Amino acid sequence: MRGTAVLSTGCRPATSSGVNPGKPPTRVLRLVLEYDGTDFSGWQVQLGKRTVQGEVARAVQRVTGERVVVHGASRTDAGVHAEGQVAHLRTRTRIGCDRLVHALNAHLPPDVVVLRIDEVPEGFHAQYHATGKTYRYRLLERPVRSALRRNRAYLVRTPLDLERMRASAARLTGLRDFRAFCTEARTRGRTERRIDRLDVRREGDEMVIEVSGSGFLYNMVRTIVGTLIWAGIGKLSPDDVSAILESKDRRRAGPVVPPQGLTLVEVRYGDGPGPASP
Amino acid sequence: MRGTAVLSTGCRPATSSGVNPGKPPTRVLRLVLEYDGTDFSGWQVQLGKRTVQGEVARAVQRVTGERVVVHGASRTDAGVHAEGQVAHLRTRTRIGCDRLVHALNAHLPPDVVVLRIDEVPEGFHAQYHATGKTYRYRLLERPVRSALRRNRAYLVRTPLDLERMRASAARLTGLRDFRAFCTEARTRGRTERRIDRLDVRREGDEMVIEVSGSGFLYNMVRTIVGTLIWAGIGKLSPDDVSAILESKDRRRAGPVVPPQGLTLVEVRYGDGPGPASP
């Protein structure tokens, strides 16, 4: 939840000085959300499925009476967690941001919570104006599965070579074409993305991979992790990883690892041009 | 899972040199278990309830065909977790310890797992021969509840004074009468216990309390944590904590905090006299 307050214009209640007398003006609110993805069919509303987007919209309706669309910065998949998902919505409620945090949390289920709300300028869009995101993936590196972390980490029973993973990760940073690291069926348009940071570190019996970048293609983070695991077990060298990147051939990269190891840590908003800037 | 291997006599398959020809001799096995207490009615078998003891016994029956009693070192309550619960059982199976780990895990549900099995001398008892235990309690110190840690930590919205908690914790270490820190209805016999270590530390937005001792009375750890919270919010001084201990009056100590913050980290077995020693 670092660096998410760049665009904030503070938490002021809406005034009634709008053009429609008697009808409160529309406010745009930016929400920071934490959720446990285990029992959700992902972020996005789907008919008959339990989704985060659906639960947040339902809580807003219970508190304000309005039917709103909650636009998320990232459409996290089923099983993926978030510590700092960002979303925006338009509302006419006059409830102040801090009070609204508590009101929504009182109506949200235990596995999703609003951490903060800020009023942002008209035109702000959580997805389109995001300038960077950070994801974390946890690998459990031990011979026996874990009961306590079964929904938080992915078990790799083969010992991993940390230095080889780090050397391979270094080949993926910078502005690159990540066509070989995405699932094409859901990827449209340009496949260049910029990875600013791709750290691999040991924490006890876990290998933690943290990646920050301008944006990520569909399944890109989980394919990078699958490829780094192949490097860690000696199946790929750093040069192989560079060659895969250059080949733009999805069939050469590693597998898409399961969702439960993945957490959306934060979404950043820069101060470049556009309607979202203060 | 540190220090649990003291009594190991290795992982050898049972020989058939016993007195009953054709019937394999009885072996005593010590199991180290990890579990997520969220969906269990605690350790101990209760009619119609889902318990850890019951799940482990059921897995043993599926693998070996035997009905066994699984004796745990600690009867953890509903919601309490374990990273290193220890249990013992008697079996006539000839399956080696390492193979038995995998066989049992294949029959255990996702929220309980056997980490290791060792064959121990006849007469070993997981509860009676334990010489020490370590528990950890996690407090979440922030204004908003957590979705990801809702079953792992207890939310305290009031800021806590770490130094005051540490000074109060220091008053509880050593050999003491903990009558004021236990729930009497389930506490019989002597109430002296020795606390070897009672650490309080911050880890990010959590306050982590770790306690090691010779053994613990019913609700003792959770009452100590409740009392340290009262110290942390300024309701009690270190001198008050000493006075509560000396009063032996349960009504003066803090509340029993909820189970979800508590984890049994390890059970230790010393090398003193008794049948459990090698």
Min mean pLDDT across A159-168, A177-186, B78-87, B120-129 is at A177-186
* Residue B255 domain flag: yes
Structural domain count of chain B: 2
Percent of the residues in chain A that have a pLDDT greater than 90, as a whole number: 85
Over residues A237-265, the mean pLDDT reads 97
What is the rounded CA–CA span in Å between residue A172 and residue A182? 13
Tell me which residue in A112, A146, A147 faces B147 most closely, judged by beta carbons: A112
Over residues B164-184, the mean pLDDT reads 96
**Based on the domain organization, do B184 and B158 belong to the same domain?**
yes
Question: Mean pLDDT across chain A, nearest whole number?
Answer: 91
**Based on the domain organization, do B143 and B37 belong to the same domain?**
no
Q: Which residue of A has its CA nearest to B106?
A: A145
Q: Which of A94, A129, A164 is the last residue of a domain?
A: A129
Over residues B85-92, the mean pLDDT reads 98
B129 touches chain A (CB under 8 A): no
CATH number at residue B200: 3.30.70.660
Percent of the residues in chain A that have a pLDDT greater than 70, as a whole number: 88
Rounded to a whole number, what is the distance in Å from the CA of B184 to chain A's nearest CA?
A: 31
Tell me which residue in B34, B36, B148 faces A83 most closely, judged by beta carbons: B148
- Is the pLDDT assigned to residue A271 strictly greater than 90? no
DSSP letter at B162?
H
* Residue B8 domain flag: no
- Rounded to 5 degrees, what are φ and ψ at B90? -105, 135
What is the rounded CA–CA span in Å between residue B130 and residue A164? 42
- Is the pLDDT assigned to residue A150 strictly greater than 80? yes
Taking only the tens place, the pLDDT of each residue in A68-95 is 999 999 999 999 999 999 999 999 999 9
- Is the pLDDT assigned to residue A153 strictly greater than 80? yes
A35 touches chain B (CB under 8 A): yes
Residue at A78: amino acid letter: A
Taking only the tens place, the pLDDT of each residue in A168-199 is 999 999 999 999 999 876 667 899 999 999 99
Comparing B259 with A276, the larger pLDDT belongs to: B259
Run of H or E including B133: strand B132-140
CB contact under 8 A, A145 and B111: no
CATH number at residue A75: 3.30.70.580
Over residues A38-66, the mean pLDDT reads 97
Over residues A249-260, the mean pLDDT reads 96
**Position B278 confidence tier, pLDDT thresholds 50, 70, 90:** very low
* Residue B43 domain flag: yes
Taking only the tens place, the pLDDT of each residue in B47-63 is 999 999 999 999 999 99
**Based on the domain organization, do B91 and B159 belong to the same domain?**
no
**Position B188 confidence tier, pLDDT thresholds 50, 70, 90:** confident
Taking only the tens place, the pLDDT of each residue in A13-34 is 444 444 556 778 999 999 999 9
* Residue A13 domain flag: no
- Is the pLDDT assigned to residue B7 strictly greater than 60? no
- Is the pLDDT assigned to residue B269 strictly greater than 90? yes
Q: Which pLDDT belongs to residue A187?
A: 65
Tell me which residue in A35, A101, A116 faces B147 most closely, judged by beta carbons: A35
